[in-house]
Structure 1
Amino acid sequence: MDTILHPIMWLVAWVMYGIHSGLTALGMSGGAGPAWVLAILGLTITVRLIVLPLYNRQINASRQTQVLQPEIQKIQKKYKGKKDQVSQQRQQEELSALYKKHGTSPFASCAPMIIQMPVLFSLFRVLYAFPQIAAGTWQSASLGPINQEVAEQFQESTVFGAPLSASFSDPGSAHTTTVRVVAAVLVIFMCLSMFYTQKQLTMKNMPESAMDPSNPMFKTQKYMLYGMPLIYLFSGVAFQIGVLVYWVAGNIWNIGQQTWFIRNNPTPGSQAHREREARIRKKRLRQGLSEEQIEELEEQESRGGQREQPMGKARAKKSGQKENALDYVAQAGLDEVEADDDGVDEPGEARGKDGLTDAERARKRYERRQAERARSQAKAQNRQKKAKQNKKQRNF
């Protein structure tokens, strides 16, 4: 194991030593002391900053996978009970095409964890090597910049009286009670913070359509929500105090980072998304915008922020729309509107801040809805044609 991890162990040792040297240059104690604890915290921040782009991809991939769950379930239901090789291959092809279309992958959300695990194992082995390097029993005289003198200084550094290289299961010859109390507190905090981050992703940032109890992904996330903290609750007794400090600091970073992402970029249809929309609506009301202006902005945002272009009669006819003012008014829910063909306003018609009357505003809303329906119908027809063509090709 050490042979495989040795390059990463060497890099971890140099990062910790470099951060410790920087802290001592700023005036902290150069020997045993809190500078080594802060070096572990610095290592945590360094690793988190490196994997930050991957974390963004993980959040986006997880969100896309949650949104796609209804479509994934439709494909799985389509091939339910079909165990032949051709059906299984077609199911995989359709799922792959669906993931490719939306730019995601079922494995993209695992990338940050996969990258961090070697770092965590290497840190575990580096901390495990410190006592042996200090005693002169390590396989070599040093590990990167960590020689016997540096290892002895690290050995004497503590967190609330517990040595960084000690663990709950191996507290060492002295401070047994202190080591086990500190280790137990850190393990419990690590499990609680892990549970909190998983619960945010599972309950607050997941759309209702994906929270079906029969949904396999939702089941898996619920198992992870309760199972992962329990696993680390029992396996954490073997981790050194330094590893627990790294892990707890990483979980605190995750809570802050995840809270920011969920608040500012939540999954559409989730509880966090509804809360964000309510905050934005209140802010716009405080700015003096009317309900109609807010609805206009929300419609633009739902279409991706694109501005709705004015539609002439020729375009309206091509889209299958009818130029009938009474129909526009009926769709908008208005009872009586009087409008002339020459565009002259009837007496008593008031114009809002946008320069439109109620009838003109209702007409524009109706035009947009009709155009959206026409586009949706055209897309559905194209999909049906492509599906028929693909079916014919496969049958051929």
Structure 2
Amino acid sequence: MDTILAPIMWLVSYVIYGVHYGLTSLGMDAGSGPAWVLSIVGLTIIVRLIILPLYNKQINATRQTQVLQPEIQKIQKKYKGKKDQVSQQRQQEEMTALYKKHGTSPFASCLPLLVQMPILFSLFRVLYAFPAIAAGERGDLGPINSDVAVEFENSTVFGAPLSASFGAAGETADPLNVRIVAAVLVLFMVVSTFYTQKQLTMKNMPDSAMDPNNPAFKTQKYMLYGMPFIYLFSGAAFQVGVLVYWAAGNIWNIGQQTWFIRNNPTPGSQAYRDREERLRKKRLRKGLTEEEIETLEAEEASRGQRQQPMSKERAKKVGVDKDDPQPVHSPEEPEEDVDPSEVRGKDGLTDAERAKKRYERRQAERARSKAKQEQRNKKAQQNKKKRNF
């Protein structure tokens, strides 16, 4: 494994050494001590900043996948029970076309994890190599020579050496203390992972995607309970230094995810409704009237609704003119292709549709008022000209 991970191990060792050098330059004690612990935290921050664009892609891809769940379920229902090769191929083609149409991919949400796992394994192997480097049984690893490895080996977190682990605590001078520290870090890792998964599943998923029969929702619930359970057992094999890296990463995740869910939530989710309520209260404090607030909400809703292109056959079916893409249904005629999973009131409209309708009604009233005012002004001008003659 070291042969495959050698370039990343070399890079990780240089980052840890570089952060440690920067911390000692700022006045922290050189040699064994907190600077080596903070160098692992620094590695976490650097990695998270590097993968921030991938995290943005992950958020957008996850959101698009959640919004597309009703369409995905329609395709799955269409080919339910059809196990022949032709039907399976057509289902895959329709799925691919749907993802391509909306500019997303089911694998985009895995990008940050795919980047982080090699770094995590490399850090594991680097920490595993420190005792051998300190004892002179292995050559230098980048800037890590025997003197640096000894300093690192003597650095501790609440008395537990960074290279020690729960499973190998018997090899240390104080195995009980190592097990306690490692257990606390593993427990924190489990709880924080559960919290971040619960935030995504219960607070930032649209109501249309939270169907118990939805395969994606089932997968999210399995991950909600399964991932912490896996970490509970696998954490015993990781060194304290790796657990520090993981704990720092989870703290970063909680802060980053909380900010995104608060300021850029998925439309239709509980977080989105909470944000709309906060914006409404903020606008009321600024002195805006209910009518002005509803107008702003309607404009935001209309901007957030992306019009999808239609074929001529579908445009004819739903009653839309291709040259003027506005619905031409009569008021009595029920519209087709209404998504039943959307939350609708007694009038059969969603919050966004209701706000848009109010906005259009006020715009029409203002247009009529403006036309009447222009007509009065025009009439006044004509009367003035007659009097001048």
Q: Which runs of 4+ in 1 moved over 4 A?
A: 318-322, 364-367
Q: Structure 1 residue 19: deviation in Å?
A: 0.6
Instruction: Measure, in 1, the Cα distance between the counterparts of 2:74 and 2:361.
Output: 42
- How many Å apart are 1:160 and its aligned residue? 0.4
Q: Distance in 2 between matches of 1:203 and 1:361?
A: 36
Distance 1:366 1:89, change over 3 A: farther
Aligned to 2:302: 303
Instruction: Provide the residue aligned with 2:259 in structure 1.
Output: 260
Q: Structure 1 residues 225, 62: CA separation in 2 closer, same or farther (over 3 Å shift)?
A: same
Partner-residue secondary structure (3-state), 2:303 = coil
| Number of the residue aligned with 1:119 | 119
Q: 2:146 aligns with which of 128, 145, 148?
A: 148
Measure how far apart 1:360 and its partner are: 7.7
**Letter aligned with residue 283 of structure 1:** K
Aligned residue for 2:372?
none
1:94 to partner: Cα distance: 1.1
Aligned to 1:102: 102
User: Aligned-pair distance for 1:363?
Assistant: 3.2
* Residues 1:43 and 2:43 are matched in the alignment: yes
Q: Could you tell me how far apart the structure 1 residues matched to 2:360 and 2:37 are?
A: 69
> CA separation in 2, counterparts of 1:74 and 1:359?
32
70 and 365 in structure 1: CA distance in 2 versus 1, 3 angstrom threshold: farther
Check whether the contact 2:65–2:106 (CA below 8 A) recurs between aligned residues: yes
Report deviation, 1:204: 0.2
Instruction: Give CA-to-partner distance per residue, 1:77-118, whole Å, 9 cap, x none.
Output: 011111222221111111111111111100000000010000
Taking the aligned partners of 1:246 and 1:359, their CA distance within structure 2 comes to 53
Following the alignment from structure 2 to structure 1, what is the Cα–Cα distance between the partners of residues 6 and 285?
59
Partners of 1:219 and 1:321 in 2: CA distance: 38
The aligned residue for residue 221 of structure 2 is 222
1:293 aligned partner, one-letter code:
E
Structure 1 residues 52-61 or 20-29, which shifts more? 20-29
Deviation at 1:25, TM superposition (A): 1.1
CA distance in 1, matches of 2:188, 2:82: 46
How far apart are the structure 2 equivalents of 1:366 and 1:264? 35
Q: 3-state SS of the aligned residue for 1:153?
A: helix
AA partner of residue 299 (structure 2): Q
Any idea what the Cα deviations from partners look like across 1:117-147, whole Å, max 9, x if unmatched? Answer: 0000000000000001011122xx2000000
Kindly provide the CA deviation profile for residues 19-61 of structure 1, in whole angstroms up to 9, marking residues without a partner as x.
1111111111110000000100000000000000000000110
CA contact under 8 A between 2:164 and 2:172: conserved in structure 1?
no
DSSP-derived class of the 1:223 partner: helix
Match of 1:201 in 2: 200
The whole-number CA distance in structure 1 between the counterparts of 2:329 and 2:88 is: 44
Q: What is the letter of the counterpart of residue 158 of structure 1? A: T
For the aligned residue pairs, the C-alpha RMSD in angstroms reads: 2.4
SS of 2:27's equivalent in the other structure is coil
Cα deviation, 1:212-262, whole Å, max 9, x if unaligned, reads 111111111101100110111011011000000000000000000000000
The answer for the alignment partner of 1:343 in structure 2 is none
Q: Residue 274 of structure 1 aligns to a residue in which SS?
A: helix
| 1:74 aligned partner | 74
Residue matched to 2:168: 170
What's the counterpart of residue 335 of structure 1?
A: none
> 1:173 deviation in Å?
3.0
Aligned length: 322
In 2 relative to 1, CA 359–105 (structure 1 residues): closer, same or farther, beyond 3 Å?
A: closer
Give, in angstroms, the shift of residue 305 of structure 1.
6.8
Match of 2:130 in 1: 130
1:362–1:14 distance in 2 versus 1, CA, 3 Å: closer
Question: TM-score with structure 1 length normalisation?
Answer: 0.78
The one-letter code of the counterpart of 1:220 is T
Alignment CA distance shift 1:22-1:359 (3 Å): closer
Report the Cα distance in structure 2 between the residues aligned to 1:321 and 1:215, rounded to whole angstroms: 32
Match of 2:64 in 1: 64
Cα offset, 1:320, TM superposition = 6.0
Q: Report the counterpart of residue 364 of structure 2 in structure 1.
A: 363
CA distance in 1, matches of 2:253, 2:281: 29
Unaligned 5+ runs, structure 2 = 306-322, 331-358, 369-389
1:319-369 deviation line (CA, Å, top 9, x unaligned): 8699xxxxxxxxxxxxxxxxxxxxxxxxxxxxxxxxxxx9983735999xx
The unaligned stretches of length 5 or more in structure 1 are: 307-314, 323-357, 368-396
d(CA) in 2 for partners of 1:271, 1:216: 20
Supply the distance in 2 between the matched residues of 1:359 and 1:38 (Cα, whole angstroms).
57
DSSP 3-state at the match of 1:304: helix
Q: Is the alpha carbon distance of 1:267 and 1:36 closer, same or farther for their aligned partners in structure 2, counting shifts above 3 Å?
A: same
Residue of structure 2 in register with 1:351 after alignment: none
Aligned to 2:231: 232
Contact 2:64–2:102 (Cα < 8 Å) also in 1: yes
Instruction: Return the TM-score normalized by structure 2.
Output: 0.79
* Inter-partner Cα distance in structure 2 for 1:91 and 1:98: 11
Distance 2:75 2:328 in 1: 33
